Chains A and B, each alone.
Chain A
Amino acid sequence: MVLSKKLKQRIGTMAVVFTAIMGFGSVAYSDNHEAKRSIGAKAGDACVKETAWMRRNHMELLKHDRDRTLRQGIRSVDGSINGCVDCHTNKDESGYYIPVNAEGEFCSGCHNYTSVSIDCFECHATRPDSAVKRAER
């Protein structure tokens, strides 16, 4: 089979583009993988629900339970943002908690990747203070 010079060039260009896309994809994948890796040390094996469900629906869980907590005073709920922060924060070398929404940490890992801004931490604490509070008492 004889290919014209023009066609050969086109195939070559497509191969370059394809390689570039795959390369970018693998970088993006490794970013995402990094985010998964940064699940806090206290996290254990499972979240309050199955991981795949949580990945898609965690905001829905928080949305309903926040109203029950604030408006009805029901505090024993599955979806507690303090619970998220307690489990998913990491400590730096000096043992100081890194904010959960900081660059490369649990929340921002996925949220940056999917380009979805988080409003939770405009108001909510980004570090657990339960450990500090227990020490004070």
Chain B
Amino acid sequence: MSQNHDNKVTNEAHEQQVVNAARRRFLGQTAAATAVIAPGITLMTIAHADSKSAEGASSSRRWGLLIDVNRCEKGCSDCVSACQQENGWGTGSTDEGLSSSRQKAQWIRTVTVHDKQTGFTNQLPMMCQHCEQPPCVDVCPTGASMKRADGIVLVDKHICIGCRYCMMACPYKARSFVHEPLHDQKSHAPRGKGTVESCTMCVHRVDRGEQPACVVSCTQGAMFFGDLNDPASDISIKLAAVSSTQIRADLGTNPGVRYSGI
């Protein structure tokens, strides 16, 4: 009995030793793993710092437009022509000869607004409003419709399947679908059959530090472009000084394009 008890004690002690050894190994491994993780974290920190200093769209900015409708001259379509020329759609491009006028691409258009009570008419340019909460991005089944960190809403045509849900979802009718094969596109504005497209806020120019083509072309000085997040930018100063509205603000999309004088 006592021998059995002794044996039991010895076994327990032995098990204890085994457990201790296992625990030591485990703790040692954990320590080693921590040592491995720690440099990993350091590396990630370095990478993060690198990505901050590197070029690219940053969420510290939000690009936007302010359109002074009172300055927009009736019958003028300089912004539309400039967009067509810059991005290679509509008049001037050799394509979309088979599409009807309702099918043809329309990145920007002039809309005439008419007050029935007073008879006052005015016009304004209408394009993708680059919403903060874009309905087109919400509905896209493939993730092709996307918003850059700096607020520019784009279509990734590499993965666009041409379902046109985004066209249905857009409250501003800002998007078009290409119905036929195209040729001789602009190198900075790829566009092709079976994909949806819209105003890119001239993202290729913005990335170069330039202003969108429509803003540059507006001889009336009715369009302003800039960083809405920077209180010192020209557009922010202007927005703080004049009354402006968002179209269909009730939808809560918070467009990056604002209009004054409507």
Q: Could you say which residues of chain A place their CB within 8 Å of the CB of B157?
A: 123
B221 interfacial by beta-carbon distance below 8 Å: no
B28 interfacial by beta-carbon distance below 8 Å: no
Which listed segment binds B: A12-20, A38-46, A47-55, A70-78?
A70-78
The answer for the CA separation of A74 and B203 in the assembled complex, in Å, is: 11
The answer for the CA separation of A130 and B154 in the assembled complex, in Å, is: 23
Contact partner, B184, options A66, A122, A125, A130, Cβ 8 Å: A125
Q: A70-B156, A73-B203, A129-B186 are in contact. Are A122 and B193 (CB under 8 A)?
A: yes
Q: Of residues 156 to 212 in B, which have CB atoms within 8 Å of A's CB atoms?
A: 156-158, 181-188, 190-195, 203, 207
Q: What residue in chain A is nearest B143 (Cβ atoms)? A: A71
Q: Of residues 52 to 111 in A, which have CB atoms within 8 Å of B's CB atoms?
A: 66-68, 70-76, 82, 85
Q: What residue in chain B is nearest A85 (Cβ atoms)? A: B187
The answer for the CA separation of A119 and B187 in the assembled complex, in Å, is: 15
Question: Do A128 and B187 touch (CB < 8 A)?
Answer: yes
Q: A73-B55, A73-B57, A74-B56 are in contact. Are A124 and B150 (CB under 8 A)?
A: no
Question: Do B186 and A125 touch (CB < 8 A)?
Answer: yes
Question: Do A73 and B187 touch (CB < 8 A)?
Answer: no
Q: What residue in chain B is nearest A68 (Cβ atoms)? A: B56
Interface residues on A, range: 20 to 34
The answer for the CA separation of A40 and B210 in the assembled complex, in Å, is: 31
The answer for the CA separation of A125 and B188 in the assembled complex, in Å, is: 8
B149 interfacial by beta-carbon distance below 8 Å: yes
Q: What residue in chain A is nearest B152 (Cβ atoms)? A: A73
Q: Could you say which residues of chain A place their CB within 8 Å of the CB of B182?
A: 123
Contact partner, A70, options B154, B183, B186, B192, Cβ 8 Å: B154
B54 interfacial by beta-carbon distance below 8 Å: yes
Q: Could you say which residues of chain B place their CB within 8 Å of the CB of A130?
A: 187
Question: Do B154 and A72 touch (CB < 8 A)?
Answer: no
B114 interfacial by beta-carbon distance below 8 Å: no
Q: What residue in chain A is nearest B178 (Cβ atoms)? A: A123
Question: Do B187 and A129 touch (CB < 8 A)?
Answer: yes
Question: Do B55 and A71 touch (CB < 8 A)?
Answer: no
Q: A123-B192, A123-B195, A125-B190 are in contact. Are A71 and B148 (CB under 8 A)?
A: yes
Q: What residue in chain A is nearest B191 (Cβ atoms)? A: A123
Q: A125-B185, A125-B187, A125-B190 are in contact. List 9 more A-B contacts (CB 8 A).
A: A66-B158, A70-B154, A72-B148, A73-B149, A73-B203, A76-B55, A123-B190, A123-B192, A129-B186
A-B contacts, 26 listed (Cβ < 8 Å): A66-B158, A67-B158, A70-B154, A71-B146, A71-B156, A72-B148, A73-B57, A73-B207, A74-B56, A76-B55, A82-B188, A85-B187, A122-B181, A122-B193, A122-B194, A123-B157, A123-B182, A123-B185, A123-B191, A123-B192, A123-B195, A124-B190, A125-B185, A125-B186, A125-B187, A128-B187
10 closest Cβ pairs, A-B complex: A123-B192, A73-B57, A123-B190, A125-B187, A122-B192, A74-B56, A73-B56, A72-B56, A124-B190, A82-B187
Name A's B-contacting residues (CB within 8 A).
Answer: 66-68, 70-76, 82, 85, 122-130
